[in-house]
Structure 1
Amino acid sequence: MMLRRWQYGLLSVGMVALLGILSASGGWLGRVGAQESQTHYLPANADTVHWGYFSQAIAPKLTVNSGDTITVETLTHHANDDAARMVAGDAGAESVYAWTADFKAVDRRGAGSIDPAVYTKGAGEGAGVHILTGPIYINGAEPGDVLEVQILDVKPRPSGNPDYSGRTFGSNAAAWWGFHYNDLIEEPKPREVITIYELDATESEDYATALYSYRWVPQSDPYGVVHEVIDYPGVPVDHSTVDENFEVLEGVQIPVRPHFGVIGLAPAETDIVDSIPPSYFGGNIDNWRIGEGATMYYPVAVEGALLSLGDPHAAQGDSELAGTAIETSLTGTIKVTVHKQSELSGTVLEDLYYPLLETDDEYVVHGFSYANYLEELGESAQQDIYGQSSVDKAMRDAFRKMRHFLMTTQGMSEDEAITLMSVAADFGITQVVDGNWGVHGILKKSILPPNV
């Protein structure tokens, strides 16, 4: 096995843990982690985030054991839509967003080239946009295992600006990648519109309200590159150039349901993977149900799993039609558990090859236009996926995964699985904006036989 340099340092720690588990139990436990569980805190700053991509080559920012609990800060990649409310006074956000004519704290923003002779908009070229905290290395996680991520708590990140104490803000971009963009009926068209939302950071209110909106106009970044549209993450908006409309959605209250648009593991296929299209490793699933009280299960593709979190949302509807949710910054507390491949038989995780969501009442499978686009579309997968997605393909993948779940974990025949899906499962459009479009299938636990 070829180890990366950072893994040599982890090897001795991992071997100590391994020997301890083996000597105590005579072998691997179904849930790795005979050690006493620990708690950790992972802040979001320029040293702990990677912007716009997943990679097995990134040195972990934290190493934990199975059963440990981690509080993770996450930042929205849309904070510069209103930097006064979402960046100013927040040391972590300021460190990530720092960008002047002479300095850029997080240079690579996306999975594209970082060769100045090649890129035209900025390092990474915006092929991937999300600020991801991590990765987190989980001792004992190996390819073929399943990583359980239990979301214990999700809280809004208060504005760091004392002028907005006790409030949290978020941005919704109705952008060029939205489903609506080429189907507008009012002038001017096409157009991109930013709506800034406000919510209560103390959580005494359970709704968000629109504060104001503005139409995107060309913006010059600190390097002097002009951005005609929203084509590179983190471009600061000069508010002297936009017309702010404070008469927007008056009297409308948006239910707040904080969740993470992106929770994912490092894929095995290649080192640098665009954060936008979701896949078997999770990533940008954009399902509003992945919030407090939910548990996600992911197939592990690389040693240590290399878990990252980001794309925090205050609220989103199924489809995420205009391109984004209410993009805000959140802090979540999660518990991670490794389920060893040898112990999965006879459980709901048997032969799991896709991201599975579990709540108190439901199982939710996630289908995509391509179950594993990196493998299915070949060398140019990260470019081709954006022109090949459809709801039809995603629905077929969701059907196949629900059929697999029922036949494999519930012992049903194919005929039984198909009739049950038709009469009792709810399929919905997760998102139509993330390159690899998504359909989810929801199955109520109450309809399944007891004690399975």
Structure 2
Amino acid sequence: MHQHSLHHHARHLGWDRATTPALTLAPGDRVDVHCADASGGQITPDAPVDAVAGLSAERANPLSGPLYVDGAEPGDALAIDILDIHPSGWGWTAIIPGFGLLAEDFPSPHLIVSRHDAQVAEFLPGVRIPVRPFIGTIGVAPVEHGTHAVIPPYRTGGNMDCRDLIPGARLWLPVAVPGALLSLGDTHVAQGDGEVCGTAVEAPMDVQLQITLHKGKGPPSPMLDVPATPLRNEHQRGFCVTTGIGPDLMTAACDAVRHLVDTLCSRHHMRPEDAYCLISVAADLHISEIVDAPHWMVSAYFPNAVIAY
């Protein structure tokens, strides 16, 4: 086993099997990776809201890598153990015009810059969110030639925004090209399932991984082994749950989130923009029912404990 480091210079934009590898690893090696925030440095700790309006989409979600894994061939499984993640002490959450589940409801830019220690992020006055750092974007190069956008996820991983990609988790990815070409970025301090406003608590972080190879055992799509840690630590005061019901899951999800925005504004005298961002980083969307045709139900679970009374 060897230890490697991947620093600021080794970044690229877009998934492409032709990208020159930044490092070559043997199976079993470990690597420390410095990941940029999702804005690629366009938003800083003292940024004004104008920074959101001026964001360049071409610089969004920069990837660190790629990492070439010796012996990896199509059909193999790449197993990535997330050993550790070190948050940076600050993060940002934004409403980006034209982006997010309720983009039509929130057309104007909005920015919340928060500070955090190892346990808690001070998101808004009186609002404290448990820190649960994870990797938002991680994947290998797809088999198709050309450059593929970073924003959507693929069968080979990518911008999955799965809040369980935490230290102690193992991610299994299907190798599609020789060497796998693993890249990662878009690290998050905290996020709710769904990331409804389009951003989590975005922050640069240092990540330590160990990479192993399993010949001929590639899964059909990404798979996780998640450690036995609570999925939600903020259960002490229960949850406020709003729902959306109808024949379309996306519409039901929108309705559940709109109802929760209204509820937080009514109960806690929040601005709608702040409530929407808070839901994105602290509430979880659940598909509560998908078998009772012709209507399905989506629920938005908000942990009451994050707001001080």
TM-score of the aligned structures, taking structure 2 as reference length: 0.69
Query: Structure 2: where are the runs of 5+ without partners?
Result: 48-53, 230-247, 251-284, 288-297, 299-309
- What is the Cα deviation at residue 127 of structure 1? 5.8
- Counterpart-to-counterpart distance in 1, 2:169 and 2:145: 29
Contact 1:128-1:276 at 8 Å conserved across structures: no
Match for residue 207 of structure 1?
A: 120
**1:266 to 2:173 alignment:** no
Q: Paired residue for 1:58?
A: 19
Paired position in structure 1 for 2:42: 80
- 1:288 and 2:163 are equivalent in the alignment: yes
Q: How does 1:18-417 map to 2 (within 5 A)?
A: 37-45=1-9, 48-51=10-13, 53-78=14-39, 79-82=41-44, 84=46, 126=57, 129-157=60-88, 168-175=89-96, 176-184=98-106, 190-200=107-117, 203=118, 206-210=119-123, 249-341=124-216, 344=217, 352-361=219-228, 391=249
The one-letter code matched in structure 1 to 2:25 is V
Do the aligned residues in 1 keep the contact of 2:23 with 2:66 (CA within 8 Å)?
Answer: yes
Q: Write the deviation string for residues 62-100 of structure 1: whole angstroms up to 9, x where unpaired.
A: 001001111111010333222658xxxxxxxxxxxxxxx
Quick one: higher RCO (CA 8 Å, sep 6+), 1 or 2? 2
> In the TM superposition, what whole-angstrom CA distance separates every residue of 1:136-166 from its partner, at most 9, and x where no partner exists?
0000000000100000000013xxxxxxxxx
Matches of 1:391 and 1:275 in 2, distance apart?
A: 24
Q: How many residues end up aligned between the 2 structures?
A: 232
User: Counting helix residues as a fraction of each chain, which structure ranks higher?
Assistant: 1
SS of structure 2 residue aligned to 1:71: strand
**What is the one-letter code of the residue matched to 1:65?**
A
> Is the Cα contact below 8 Å between 2:95 and 2:111 reproduced in 1?
yes
1:360 Cα shift?
3.1
C-alpha distance in 1, partners of 2:286/2:15?
Answer: 27
Task: For 1:391 and 1:280, locate their aligned partners in 2 and report how far apart those are by CA, in whole Å.
Answer: 21
Asked if structure 1 preserves the Cα contact closer than 8 Å seen for 2:45 and 2:90, the reply is no
Indicate conservation of the 8 Å contact 2:84/2:208, yes or no. yes
Q: Secondary structure at the match of 1:315?
A: coil
Measured at CA, do residues 391 and 274 of structure 1 come closer, stay the same or move farther in structure 2, by a change above 3 Å?
A: farther
Q: Structure 1 segments of 4 or more deviating over 3 A?
A: none
Greater strand fraction, Structure 1 or Structure 2:
2
Distance, in Å, in 2 between the alignment partners of 1:331 and 1:192 is 28
For residue 240 of structure 2, what is the aligned residue in structure 1? none
* SS of equivalent residue, structure 2 residue 138: strand
Contact 1:267–1:301 (8 Å) recurs in 2: yes
Provide the rounded CA distance (Å) in 2 between the counterparts of 1:75 and 1:55: 19
Aligned-residue CA RMSD (Å): 2.8
Whether the 8 Å CA contact 2:45–2:113 is kept in 1: the answer is no
Would the aligned equivalents of 1:127 and 1:274 in 2 still touch at CA under 8 Å? no
Whether the aligned pair in 1 keeps the contact of 2:45 and 2:91 (CA below 8 Å) is no
Which letter maps to 1:324?
Answer: T
Question: Can you list the C-alpha shifts for 1:379-398, whole angstroms capped at 9, x where unaligned?
Answer: xxxxxxxxxxx857xxxxxx
CA distance in 1 between partners of 2:227 and 2:177 (Å): 29
Q: Distance in 2 between matches of 1:128 and 1:54?
A: 14
Q: Point out where structure 1 has 5 or more consecutive residues left out of the alignment.
A: 1-36, 86-120, 158-167, 185-189, 211-248, 345-350, 363-389, 393-426, 430-438, 440-452
Asked if structure 1 preserves the Cα contact closer than 8 Å seen for 2:140 and 2:158, the reply is yes
